[in-house]
Amino acid sequence: MAGNNPTSSEYIQHHLQNMTFGLHPENGLGLAHSPQEAQEMGFWAIHLDTMGWSIGLGILFLWLFRMVAKTATTSVPSGMQNFVEMMVEFVDNSVRETFHGKSKLIAPLSLTIFCWIFLMNLMDLVPVDFLPMLAQKIGAWFGADPAHVYFKVVPTTDVNATLGMSLSVFALIIFYSIREKGFSGFVAELTLHPFNASNPFVQALLIPVNFLLEAVTLLAKPVSLALRLFGNLYAGELIFILIAMVGLWQLPLHFAWATFHILIITLQAFIFMMLTIVYLSMATEKH
Amino acid sequence: MNLNLTLIGQAIAFAVFVWFCMKFVWPPVMQALQERQKKIADGLDAASRATRDLELAEEQAAEQLKESKEQAAEIIEQAHKRANQMIEEARDNARLEGERMIESARGEIEQETQRAKEELRAQVATLAIQGAERILDSSIDEAKHRELVDKLAAEL
């Protein structure tokens, strides 16, 4: 366990704190030494662990796929190419089934989302103490207090990561809506549905109501997208942490939960991808 | 749970990854897949074409086989006919030859008979003279009567 015999709540809190780098009002530029300090750094701070792992895993994904793409042959595929082609075809089929417009972006976007989220979620299966303790040892080597070295391995348990992706998707939704329907069409979609009347006066009264409803619908998309992934993985991670505290019994428990978690990991990556495709196809289709 | 710069960092990383994937990963893989699809389709086409060709060739072969069988039957028929003809001819020849041989044998026999008669005649003349000599005992002049006996023999 981390530190010098911390209590259960301290242990859990320690595990749920990101390694935050930012400008502290009193301590200046540096790593946050406690959750409170991280809080005080405000918006202009960055989670080094989340960024590092997510970028690393993203590069791993792209490196693997790029390697195959460079040597892709039309003859009988083997090994890695088989796997990559299977993934590409799976994503391509999903996109074809759902997205009927023409876009060069959607399919690679979906592939990136699926593989990247899958890899980030997969970090959840690494035993919860393993990498943080390694980080503490390294931190201690550099002269830091191990109890204050925070290290959260799974990027998708950081709401910043999931929200970062879902907001990018949100931007794409708006971009596609405006591109397909024009700005006026987009505004009309927000204000003339679901209620409309033939009487212009009544219609004018209905516009604010429509706008409120549609705005909620629109904004719920990125928020639900981000929070669904975050919530699932955060809860999963929390259960791993709790399991890690029960002593010897953690071994069978950990195995059982990890087995079940494989399903969640894949499913959440798939859901994020599918919903992105669905939202974008809704954005491009005219009502 | 604090929102901070990570959010923007993640969004940027995400955008870069998507861009990279769109530029360098998706097109080559997709192209390879499509090319293979085309190759397989071509292969299947070629296979069906080959099957059709094979069927055609088999048909042709069957036809030719039938034709050649007919020809062979015809040839055999002709050969049979020719053989029969030859046998017939040979039979005729043999018969003619036989007849000829019989004819010549008959001629020879005739000749032989003639000669035997001639000889007999000659000897009869001698015998008759000897007989007469004995009977008449030298009363008859051999030279005188010879002519007479010869004449007699010629009448034989």
Q: Catalytic: A281? A: no
Higher pLDDT among residues A274 and A127, named by residue: A274
Q: Which of A34, A160, A168, A228 is catalytic?
A: A228
pLDDT at A1 over 90: no
**Cβ of B151 under 8 Å from any chain A Cβ?**
no
Min Cα distance B55 → chain A (Å) is 30
The answer to whether position B94 is within a domain reads yes
Span B46-55, mean pLDDT? 96
The position carrying tokens 């949100």 is A170
Q: Kindly determine whether residue A69 and residue B25, on different chains, have CB atoms separated by under 8 Å.
A: yes
Q: Is the dihedral of CA B76, B82, B83, B84 positive or negative?
A: positive
The answer to whether position B111 is within a domain reads yes
pLDDT at A261 over 50: yes
**Cβ of B113 under 8 Å from any chain A Cβ?**
no
* Edge-to-edge strand list for the sheet holding A28-31: A28-31, A20-24, A45-47
- Which tokens hold the place of A231? 């919530």
Q: Kindly determine whether residue A88 and residue B26, on different chains, have CB atoms separated by under 8 Å.
A: yes
Asked if this assembly's ipTM is beyond 0.90, the reply is: no
The answer to whether position B86 is within a domain reads yes
The answer to whether position B100 is within a domain reads yes
Of A107, A158, A164, the CB nearest to B14: A164
pLDDT at A243 over 80: yes
Q: Catalytic: A232? A: yes
Q: Kindly determine whether residue B28 and residue A39, on different chains, have CB atoms separated by under 8 Å.
A: no
Helix (H, G, I), strand (E, B) or coil at A244: coil
Span B94-113, mean pLDDT? 94
Residue from A19, A24, A43 to probe the interface with B (highest B Cβ count within 10 Å): A43
**Cβ of B17 under 8 Å from any chain A Cβ?**
yes
- Which tokens hold the place of A262? 């494989």
CB B33 within 8 A of CB A88: yes
Higher pLDDT among residues A101 and B26, named by residue: B26
Cα gap B65→A64, rounded to integer Å: 61
pLDDT at B112 over 90: yes
Q: Which of A18, A121, A232, A281 is catalytic?
A: A232
What percentage of chain A carries pLDDT values higher than 90?
Answer: 41
Min Cα distance B43 → chain A (Å) is 12
Length of chain B: 156
Q: What mean pLDDT is reported for chain B?
A: 89
What percentage of chain A carries pLDDT values higher than 70?
Answer: 98
Q: Kindly determine whether residue A108 and residue B21, on different chains, have CB atoms separated by under 8 Å.
A: yes
Min Cα distance B45 → chain A (Å) is 17
The answer to whether position B39 is within a domain reads no
Minimal CA–CA distance to A279: which of A160, A164, A167, A172?
Answer: A172
Q: Kindly determine whether residue B36 and residue A104, on different chains, have CB atoms separated by under 8 Å.
A: no
| Chain A residues closer than 8 Å to B14 by CB | 112, 116, 164-165, 168
**Cβ of B41 under 8 Å from any chain A Cβ?**
no
Extents of the domains making up chain A: 8-69+76-284
Relative orientation angle of helices A48-70 and B26-136, to the nearest 10 degrees:
30
Q: Quote the distance between the C-alpha of residue A98 and its chain's center.
A: 22
pLDDT at B59: 96
CB A193 within 8 A of CB A214: yes
Give the helix/strand (H/E) hosting A85. Answer: helix A80-98
pLDDT at A262 over 60: yes
| Structural domain total, chain B | 1
pLDDT at A28: 78
pLDDT at B1: 56
Q: Kindly determine whether residue B21 and residue A112, on different chains, have CB atoms separated by under 8 Å.
A: yes
φ/ψ of A22, rounded to 5, equals -175, -175
The answer to whether position B9 is within a domain reads no
Minimal CA–CA distance to A48: which of A22, A77, A19?
Answer: A19
A60 → chain B, closest CA residue: B17
pLDDT at B2 over 80: no
Query: What digits encode the pLDDT tens for the residues B8-25?
Result: 999 999 999 999 999 999
| Chain A residues closer than 8 Å to B32 by CB | 69, 72-74, 85
Cα gap A155→A123, rounded to integer Å: 8
pLDDT at A166 over 60: yes
Of B1, B30, B39, the CB nearest to A88: B30
Q: Please, which pLDDT band fits residue A131 given cuts at 50, 70 and 90?
A: confident
The answer to whether position B34 is within a domain reads no
Highest mean pLDDT among A38-42, A69-73, A85-89, B55-59: B55-59
pLDDT at B124: 83
pLDDT at A54 over 90: yes
Q: Kindly determine whether residue A47 and residue B14, on different chains, have CB atoms separated by under 8 Å.
A: no
Query: What digits encode the pLDDT tens for the residues A170-228?
Result: 999 999 999 888 898 888 888 887 777 778 888 888 888 889 999 999 999 999 999 99
The answer to whether position B82 is within a domain reads yes
pLDDT at A4: 55
How many C-beta atoms surround the C-beta of residue A108 within 10 A? 28
Span A25-35, mean pLDDT? 81
Q: What is the CA radius of gyration of chain B?
A: 61
Query: Domain containing B126: what range?
Result: 50-155
